Structure 1
Amino acid sequence: MPADSGEVMLLGTYTPKIDAKGRMALPAKFRTQLGPGLIMARGQERCVYLFPQAEFRRVAMQIQHTSLGNKAAREYLRVLLSGAVDQTPDKQGRVLVPQMLRDYAKLGGDIVVIGVGTRAEIWDKKAWEQYLADNEQGYSDIADDVLPSVEW
């Protein structure tokens, strides 16, 4: 039984491969939390999001309820939902990453799967390494803005 979205905490960095059929083995630590069915969708910065179904529904409904009059919300929802697909892992814990999403994120054989709390992200390995290199200084610089009320 998958954890509900309030209990999901996907963490870490993993380096599975995408096989010739476009399948990827989910990191073992993510399988239970993602549940028997998951949603893949276009993410920001050219990655692919992996959501437990309940979390995807929560996010989509939150955007949808923003306002039909909000053009940015409509556009975001259009892109998110039009690129979203239901996936059920096979007995080996593999899921198909559809060609449309592989093309969007420029995924080849070398990928990185990262846990980002209530979702995971699939990145092309070189793109992820570049993202980290480009953003490491910013990570320190924005801490006060992003974490003003968190006590360490």
Structure 2
Amino acid sequence: MFMGEYLHTIDGKGRLIVPAKFREALGEKFIATKGLDHCLFIYPADEWQALEQKLRALPFTQPDVRAFVRFFFSGATECEVDKQGRILLPANLREYAQLEKDVVLVGVSSRVEIWSQALWTDYSMQAEDAYTAAAESLVNLGI
């Protein structure tokens, strides 16, 4: 399980240090792709395979399903950690998530999210306002 929040920087070549706790759980090779809210999602190989199977089961005849699956898989790339604990994020993913220098890696249960620090700060402030209402909704759902 991934949890926590870590501040890091991306170097001029697009390399990012992945926190040791995340590296251990991600394994040798893992997948990075375009996430929601203009962040990147990183999945360990087993989580990616499970998600892929679920997405394959969706009805591809529906336009919104096709659009989501295209977008999600077109941005996917396999990552490996180098000897310094870094991954290379392709330019198209850095551009999508507006990653320039300061980034935040966030553990979100089965995945890691990579955010630009500015977008994460904005998102966190907005989410904080809705946090209580979301908690109440979850309680009403029996969670």
- Quickly name the TM-score band, shorter chain normalised: over 0.9
Q: Percent identity?
A: 35
Tell me the amino acid that sits aligned with residue 75 of structure 1. Answer: A
The equivalent of 1:91 in structure 2 is 83
- Equivalence map 1:39-58=2 (5 Å): 39-58=31-50
Aligned to 1:149: 142
Q: Please, what is the CA RMSD of the aligned residues?
A: 1.0
The DSSP-based 3-state class of the residue aligned with 1:69 is coil
Shift of 1:128: 0.3
138-147 or 99-108: bigger deviation:
138-147
Query: What is the rounded CA distance, in whole Å, between the counterparts of 2:32 and 2:94 in structure 1?
Result: 11
- The structure in which a higher percent of residues are strand is 2
Unaligned segments of structure 1, at least 5 residues: 1-8
TM-score computed with the length of structure 2 as normaliser: 0.95
Partner of 2:68: 76
1:50-101 deviation per Cα after TM superposition (whole angstroms, max 9, x unaligned) = 1101111211220121112222221111000000000111112110011000
3-state SS, counterpart of residue 91 of structure 1: coil
SS of equivalent to 1:41: strand
Q: Deviations over 1:13-41 (max 9, x none)?
A: 00111011100010111011000001000
Q: Deviations over 1:84-127 (max 9, x none)?
A: 00011111211001100000000011000000010000000011
Query: What TM-score results when the alignment is normalised by the length of structure 1?
Result: 0.89
Q: Which runs of 5+ in 2 are unaligned?
A: none
